[in-house]
Amino acid sequence: MPKIDVYDIKGKKVSDIELNEKVFGIEPNENIVHSVLVNYLANQRQGTQSTKTRAEVRGGGRKPWRQKGTGRARQGSIRAPQWIKGGIALGPKPRSYRFSVNKKEKRLAIKSILSSKVLENNLTVVDKLELKEIKTKSMVKAFDSLKLEGKTLVVLPEKNLNVQASTKNIEGAKAILVNTINVYDLLKYTNLVLTLDTVKKLEEVYA
């Protein structure tokens, strides 16, 4: 089982913990991670883009000039695609980009990234993460004490307004709840900070 140090919010080591190898010690599967990431991004797309066809644009009810004798190309409507302010041929219409990925693949992708964080020494476990008030400076100080450089994702076991709000104004940092964990956020942020309770919940769900 992978073993990792546990720190307090001041950056001092208080203990260590053995992580469940079924969650934090598997062989990362990059192909599954990629397919689940593509699925996540596709499901975020709204698909509301739309253009008007020649049947939907205004005007063009009558033939602009007679068929023969003018010397010009024959035209049936001034709202055909070749006309300015005409309809759009083969343009985008509202659609859904959603597609499904089975739960086993999603679980494997999450476990693959968690295991990668351990292998790359980008996982930090703290005993607990609590602030007396909403203060960005306090959160920045905690990150500095834990020697976190680069983008940092904090995963909390339950709602904590002080921590979430204090993290919100830090560039390159984000705090989420354990039940909203996703592949995109795990990949986007280099450092992953978990509390002991978060680790316990992850092992309960993904082991």
The reported pTM is 0.82
CATH 3.40.1370.10 fits 3-28+106-206, yes or no: yes
How does pLDDT run along the chain (207 residues), one tens digit per residue? 788 899 998 889 899 899 999 999 999 999 999 999 999 999 999 999 999 999 999 988 899 999 999 999 999 999 999 999 999 999 999 999 999 999 999 999 999 999 999 999 999 999 989 888 999 999 999 999 999 988 999 999 999 999 999 999 999 999 999 999 999 999 999 999 999 999 999 999 998
102-121: b (≥16 Cβ within 10 Å) or e:
eeebbebbbbbbbbbbbeee
pLDDT for position 97: 95
User: Where do the structural domains in the chain lie, given as residue ranges?
Assistant: 3-28+106-206
198: left (phi over 0), alpha (psi -120 to 50) or beta: alpha
